[in-house]
Amino acid sequence: MLETSRPFENIAFVASATPEAETARLRLSEQYGAAAEDDADVIVALGGDGLMLQTLHRFRDRDIPIYGMNRGTVGFLLNTYREDGLTERLASAQRVRIHPLIMEAVDASGGRHRAPAFNEVSLLRQTFQAAKLRISIDGRVRLEELICDGIIVATPAGSTAYNLSAHGPILPLGTPLLALTPISPFRPRRWRGALVPDHARIDIAVLEAEKRQVSAVADHQEVRDIIAVSARLDRNSSVDMLFDPDHGLEERILREQFVY
């Protein structure tokens, strides 16, 4: 994380469609003013991690940092909600620059699809048949055949989402790694995934694609009947997230790993 000293005078608020988030937006707008998004120095997102993900996509590559406050149910990537001292909190916040994955998928008809993902790229079986996948890293086959319900390529920002539910590792923000996590692996039964350098290109081929149909999802964008997917970090695209110095992200990471 890097300290930020940029003044934030024009604050725009975005909120999820819940009574708690909308009430917070109205109260904060009354207290601090509400700038138009195009005129804002900072975006304050009010909701949960789902709202934060939507906001990251909306403001990608616009050079406007995002500061989230939790008015949702999870909020792992959001700061604690408080109405007092917002301008001071913004002034002392720490900045983390994150880059999205770029998914490039080829479907069964030869169509090519490209989509960004701040959380994860997922391959998921479409029918009762398990998926059969081949995994390559930087052009070298690392796993000839994985029979499973699917597989996840997760960023550090997304490691506490679907990846964590699939028993993947939590990656602190700023860690130069991606998590490759299988979903219900059948064979090899003991393979639990891998950590991959974030400069690597991950290629996944769908074997027996006509029999074992697979879809690919980049955050909210889905492509069905795919035969191949590649995922890599796009360092030419980014968005900045802001965190309170006492956000306690390290403590949250530890706590999540020791729950039972």
CATH number of 2-98+238-257: 3.40.50.10330
Residue 189: per-residue pLDDT: 86
Residue 72: per-residue pLDDT: 84
Sequence ranges of the binding site: 49-50, 119-120, 149, 157, 160-165, 221
Residue 190: per-residue pLDDT: 87
The residue-averaged pLDDT of 179-208 equals: 96
Q: Which of 4-18, 118-132, 231-245 has the lowest mean pLDDT?
A: 4-18
Q: Which of 5-9, 167-171, 193-197 has the lowest mean pLDDT?
A: 5-9
Structure confidence at residue 73 as a pLDDT band (50, 70, 90): confident
Catalytic residues: 49
Helix ranges, 119-211 (H): 162-165
- DSSP letter assigned to residue 221: E
Residue 75: per-residue pLDDT: 74
Query: Any idea where the domains of the chain sit in the sequence?
Result: 2-98+238-257, 101-233
The residue type of 58 is R
pLDDT over threshold 80, residue 88? yes
List pLDDT tens digits, range 30-60. Answer: 999 999 999 999 999 999 999 999 999 999 9
List pLDDT tens digits, range 148-174. Answer: 999 999 999 999 899 999 999 999 888
Contact between 102 and 203 under an 8 Å Cβ cutoff? The reply is no
pLDDT over threshold 60, residue 185? yes
Sequence ranges of the binding site for NAD(+): 49-50, 119-120, 149, 157, 160-165, 221
Task: Give every CB contact of residue 197 below 8 A, 6+ residues apart in sequence.
Answer: 176, 177, 178
Identify the architecture of domain 101-233 in CATH.
Answer: Sandwich (2.60)
